[in-house]
Homo-oligomer: A and B are copies of this chain.
Amino acid sequence: MMTSDTMFVISRRAILSVLLALPVLLALPALAQTGATDPLPSWSDTATKKAIVTFVERVTKQGSPELVPPAERIATFDNDGTLWAEQPIYFQLAFALDRVKSLAPMHPEWKDKEPFASLLKGDLKGALAGGEAAIFEIVTVTHSGMTTVEFDNIVRDWIATARHPITKRLYTEMVYQPMLELLAYFRANGFKTFIVSGGGIDFMRVFAERVYGVPPEQVIGSSGKLAFEFRDSSPILMKLPDLNFNDDKTGKPVGIQMHIGRQPIAAFGNSDGDLQMFEWAKGGGGVRFALLVHHTDAEREWAYDRSSSIGHLDKALDTAQAMGWTVVDMKNDWKQIFPFGSK
């Protein structure tokens, strides 16, 4: 006969054994991702996928001389063309163009002033004929002159309603399913994931946490200067019309140092704007990983590289091939492009 004492002993033993197994139980989600369940189901079984998994296993395997402590597992991701699409124009530029239309009634002078005059007539090509100066002017009038909270609300409204001109999907749906899986896979293996993008830091922060699982403090991007002021006795940060930081090309390693203060051990990008970030990540000691997304699928997404002004990829492709970095051939390496399917 079992006494209540025996029961207690058995229960306590059982409890103890569960408690002792706690570390294993807590690690289950991570184990499941690297074991029985494929953590990267949208990736074809190619050398690219194998390179990703091999890198993660090398730097996370307990007892291995290549083991990297969790605090140093820093992975940096470009955004445009790496985490979400960037065709036919950068999505943040689409936002700026929509804002110009919304603001036009308050700026009657724009009717005779480029690049606004062309833009308001629907002539995007004419508006952008002014090159970088035209783009800078469009970005400035749409990204400054308001508080950070006001800007946040403007982007929040736009991102919840604006639709991609070709797929008619929300822009936040135009994210790459394989990269969402990759972000989660790295985090499940103890990596801290950062966005390091030429895009605007305040713009990306509005959706990065919800869409990518990357909190605002792990988003690095280009920015304008800010001024701390009071309005009606309340403190505000005004967005000024002056560039503070250009987080592109050589700016990416600088932005990484300013915000993270550690060299990443893995970097993900898709254009020449990411070359220096790759070089910086690969420049440290030990096992390092660089992955370049090459847009090769004209049917399901877009195909472009050396001759494209958007996501221009030339020198970084040559360097990746010469150095043996991992290059994603989107057409062959990705089973699925967007969460909803394809373009």
Contact = CB atoms under 8 A, between A and B. Distances in A.
A2 B28 CA distance: 32
Interface string A198-232: 00011001000100000111110001001110000
Interface residues of A, number: 48
Contacts of A74: 217
Contact of A10 (B7, B19, B244): B7
18 contacts: A7-B10, A10-B14, A11-B13, A11-B14, A14-B18, A15-B17, A202-B261, A216-B262, A217-B217, A217-B218, A217-B262, A223-B258, A226-B258, A227-B254, A228-B250, A235-B279, A237-B253, A237-B254
A260 interface: yes
A166 interface: no
A259 B259 contact: yes
A37 interface: no
A202 B209 CA distance: 27
A280 interface: yes
Contacts of A283: 234-235
Looking at chain A's contact residues, is the secondary structure mostly helix, strand, loop, or mixed?
A: helix
Interface in A1-27: 1-2, 6-7, 10-11, 13-15, 17-19, 22, 25
A167 interface: no
B260 A217 contact: yes
A226 B256 CA distance: 11
